[in-house]
């Protein structure tokens, strides 16, 4: 039987104790309060490229400043103040630039109902992640072109008009208006491109690349995917105050009174909005919180050190789909596989990111250990003639997966609670009580065996102590719906 005596396994388990979770909530809430008050001083951004050719060569502006010239960006205003009512009307193109997929949809809103008429999906593989910024946007424009063609051919969108579009951008963006913003450092393996297009105005480069290929698009709104999540859910549930996205990456948005914004943020809002609206939505960039607060094991430290951007997203590295399987792989490598010759290591487990989050989920979800082992070995076969994974080893692997995913669930719950106590205003309108609905979306929260329930249980436990009732409400396809809602209300 594999020894469970590794001290870092004990650290993983200790993170789940109510005492350390309480401390985590307090620490995160304090750093969120500080981030709300931090003075945000972005330097002058470089202009977007001014070419109008369809050349795919890099055309980065000459005066691009390195990411170090910006402060870390959290608590970013979305400039979404008009909130959805459910009475939105019209047909819109919705673009979802996700961490691993590009999706483009045609969405119609009519009289209290909404319809997704058409949806395409393209993987954002390593080849795409590493092209230069201008080429990426030209590629995006060409994908859009075929969808616009289908929408026009079906009569969903009138030909010859400027096509209304909303974009969900699953990366940090320093918004300057509801439909524009400076592209900030990108995680999720987009390191090269993030550097290349750093500081570009998303609206300018998007519209320009569309124009370059003859597409007339009217970019009405750009929203972060966490903002899209809250918008999508609010259309049908006005109690929603937090949007959570947990898939390849993690993030949360919050609905706060406009008066919560600091002076610098207020000064960047449209004065008309300040007069008309009482609330706005903030993109918290939750992924970046947790430095010196999260309880780390040596595996967390190793994962961070091996990342393109060490220290960039501590919270994300403990909870998101891109990273939890890598943490689990390190644990299996250092325990079950420690003394094995490399020839008998199951396929894939010896290479970075060789274990998939979906495999963890399948193994955890299988009650019969024999069957869990079969499923595991089907994905990670051993060389012929080599002993595979014994039942005892499989039990340990399953327990290790559970430990990593449970800690992720607990940390996510602590993050949500920190937002509820640190960022949401203490008094809610009469009638609302202290019930907070969190719109939740993303592959981990939606598909990982038992994950959502575990987050909800931690929320119940932690919330009870702080007098908050927090309810997770899964909202599917929110990046597409949210982009369309944002385009419709702006």
Q: Is 105 in the site for ligand BGC (CB under 6 A)?
A: no
d(CA 221, CA 484): 9
Which window, 88-96, 120-128, 170-178, 361-369, contacts ligand BGC (CB under 6 A)?
170-178
Q: Show the tokens assigned to 286.
A: 């939750």
Map residues 210-249 to x or -, x wherever contact with ligand BGC holds by CB under 6 A.
--------------xxx------------------x---x
Q: How far is the CB of 124 from ligand BGC (least distance, A)?
A: 12
Nearer to ligand BGC, 170 or 195 (CB): 170
Q: Show the tokens assigned to 268.
A: 């960047």
Q: Show the tokens assigned to 95.
A: 């673009």
Q: Is 405 in the site for ligand BGC (CB under 6 A)?
A: no
Nearer to ligand BGC, 170 or 307 (CB): 170
d(CA 25, CA 468): 13
Q: How far is the CB of 391 from ligand BGC (least distance, A)?
A: 37
Nearer to ligand BGC, 207 or 313 (CB): 313
Residues touching ligand BGC: how many (CB under 6 A)?
A: 17
d(CA 251, CA 225): 8
Q: Is 372 in the site for ligand BGC (CB under 6 A)?
A: no
With beta carbons less than 8 A apart as the criterion, state whether 216 and 148 touch.
no
Estimate to the nearest angstrom the gap between the alpha carbon of 449 and the chain centroid. 19
The only residue of 31, 60, 78, 170 in contact with ligand BGC, by rule CB under 6 A: 170
Length of the chain: 490
For residue 242, give the nearest of 257, 261, 229 by alpha carbon.
229
Nearer to ligand BGC, 284 or 449 (CB): 284
The enclosing H or E element of 393 equals helix 391-422
Q: Is 83 in the site for ligand BGC (CB under 6 A)?
A: no
Nearer to ligand BGC, 188 or 452 (CB): 188
Q: Which residue has the tokens 């008050």?
A: 37
Q: Is 94 in the site for ligand BGC (CB under 6 A)?
A: no
Which window, 53-61, 168-176, 428-436, 453-461, contacts ligand BGC (CB under 6 A)?
168-176
Q: How far is the CB of 228 from ligand BGC (least distance, A)?
A: 9
With beta carbons less than 8 A apart as the criterion, state whether 445 and 251 touch.
no
Nearer to ligand BGC, 170 or 405 (CB): 170
Nearer to ligand BGC, 105 or 346 (CB): 105
Nearer to ligand BGC, 187 or 314 (CB): 187
Q: How far is the CB of 308 from ligand BGC (least distance, A)?
A: 12
Describe the chain by its helix, strand, coil percentages, rounded to 5: 45, 20, 40
Map residues 19-58 to x or -, x wherever contact with ligand BGC holds by CB under 6 A.
----------------------------------------
Q: Is 108 in the site for ligand BGC (CB under 6 A)?
A: no
Question: In a 3-state reduction of DSSP, which class is residue 488?
Answer: helix
Q: How far is the CB of 99 from ligand BGC (least distance, A)?
A: 5
Long-range CB contact pairs, 447-451, < 8 A, 24+: 447/358, 447/361, 448/321, 448/357, 448/360, 448/361, 448/364, 448/405, 449/361, 449/362, 449/364, 449/365, 450/364, 450/365, 451/361, 451/405, 451/408, 451/409
Which window, 101-109, 167-175, 235-243, 457-465, contacts ligand BGC (CB under 6 A)?
167-175
For residue 187, give the nearest of 207, 169, 203, 175 by alpha carbon.
169
d(CA 230, CA 478): 8
Long-range CB contact pairs, 210-213, < 8 A, 24+: 210/141, 210/144, 211/52, 212/52, 212/53, 212/54, 212/138, 212/141, 213/54, 213/138, 213/141, 213/142, 213/145
Q: Is 137 in the site for ligand BGC (CB under 6 A)?
A: no
Q: Is 307 in the site for ligand BGC (CB under 6 A)?
A: no
d(CA 8, CA 341): 24
Burial class of residue 11 (count of CB atoms within 10 Å of its CB; 0-12, 13-18, 19+): middle
Q: Show the tokens assigned to 336.
A: 């079950």
Q: Is 74 in the site for ligand BGC (CB under 6 A)?
A: no
Q: Is 201 in the site for ligand BGC (CB under 6 A)?
A: no
**Phi, psi (deg, nearest 5) at residue 348:** 90, -25
With beta carbons less than 8 A apart as the criterion, state whether 211 and 54 touch.
no
d(CA 127, CA 363): 30
With beta carbons less than 8 A apart as the criterion, state whether 31 and 23 touch.
no
Q: Is 171 in the site for ligand BGC (CB under 6 A)?
A: yes
Q: Is 135 in the site for ligand BGC (CB under 6 A)?
A: no
Q: By Cβ distance, which residue is nearest to ligand BGC?
A: 249
Q: Is 357 in the site for ligand BGC (CB under 6 A)?
A: no
Map residues 277-306 to x or -, x wherever contact with ligand BGC holds by CB under 6 A.
--------x-x-------------------
Interacting positions 178-197 with ligand BGC (CB under 6 A): 187-188
Q: How far is the CB of 375 from ligand BGC (least distance, A)?
A: 28
Interface positions with ligand BGC (CB under 6 A): 99, 170-172, 187-188, 224-226, 245, 249-251, 285, 287, 313, 316
């Amino acid at each position: 039987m594999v020894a469970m005596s590794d001290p870092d396994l004990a650290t993983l388990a200790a993170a789940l104790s109510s005492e350390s979770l309480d401390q985590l909530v307090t620490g995160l809430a304090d750093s969120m309060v500080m981030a709300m008050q931090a003075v945000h001083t972005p330097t002058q951004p470089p202009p977007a490229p001014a070419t109008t050719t369809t050349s795919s060569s890099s055309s980065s502006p000459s005066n691009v400043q390195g990411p170090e010239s910006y402060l870390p960006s959290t608590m970013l205003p979305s400039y979404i103040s008009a909130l959805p009512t459910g009475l939105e009307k019209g047909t819109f193109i919705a673009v979802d630039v996700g961490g691993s997929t590009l999706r483009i949809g045609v969405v119609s809103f009519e009289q209290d109902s909404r319809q997704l008429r058409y949806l395409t999906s393209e993987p954002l593989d390593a080849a795409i992640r590493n092209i230069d910024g201008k080429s990426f946007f030209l590629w995006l424009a060409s994908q859009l072109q075929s969808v616009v063609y289908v929408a026009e051919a079906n009569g969903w969108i009138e030909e010859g008009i400027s096509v209304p579009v909303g974009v969900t951008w699953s990366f940090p963006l320093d918004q300057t208006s509801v439909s524009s913003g400076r592209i900030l450092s990108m995680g999720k393996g987009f390191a090269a491109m993030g550097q290349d297009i750093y500081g570009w105005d998303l609206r300018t480069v998007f519209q320009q690349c569309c124009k370059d290929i003859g597409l007339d698009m009217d970019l009405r709104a750009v929203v972060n995917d966490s903002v899209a999540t809250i918008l999508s859910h609010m259309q049908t549930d006005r109690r929603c105050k937090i949007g959570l996205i947990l898939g390849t990456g993690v993030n949360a948005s919050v609905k706060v009174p406009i008066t919560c914004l600091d002076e610098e943020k207020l000064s960047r809002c449209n004065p008309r909005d300040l007069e008309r609206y009482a609330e706005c939505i903030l993109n918290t960039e939750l992924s970046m919180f947790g430095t010196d607060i999260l309880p780390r094991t040596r595996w967390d430290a190793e994962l961070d050190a091996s990342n393109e951007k060490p220290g960039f997203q501590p919270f994300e590295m403990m909870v998101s789909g891109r990273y939890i399987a890598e943490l689990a792989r390190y644990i299996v490598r250092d325990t079950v596989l420690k003394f094995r010759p490399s020839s008998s290591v199951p396929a894939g487990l010896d290479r970075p990111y060789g274990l998939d989050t979906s495999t963890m989920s399948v193994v955890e979800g299988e009650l019969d250990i024999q069957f869990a082992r079969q499923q595991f070995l089907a994905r990670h076969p051993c060389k012929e003639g080599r002993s595979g994974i014994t039942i005892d080893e499989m039990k340990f692997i399953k327990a290790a997966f559970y430990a990593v995913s449970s800690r992720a669930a607990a940390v996510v719950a602590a993050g949500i609670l920190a937002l509820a106590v640190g960022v949401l205003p203490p008094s809610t309108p009469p009638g609302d009580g202290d019930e907070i609905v969190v719109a939740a979306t993303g592959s981990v929260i939606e598909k990982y065996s038992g994950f959502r329930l575990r987050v909800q249980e931690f929320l119940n436990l932690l919330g009870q102590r702080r007098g908050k009732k927090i309810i997770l409400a899964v909202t599917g396809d929110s990046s597409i719906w949210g982009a369309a809602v944002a385009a419709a209300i702006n």
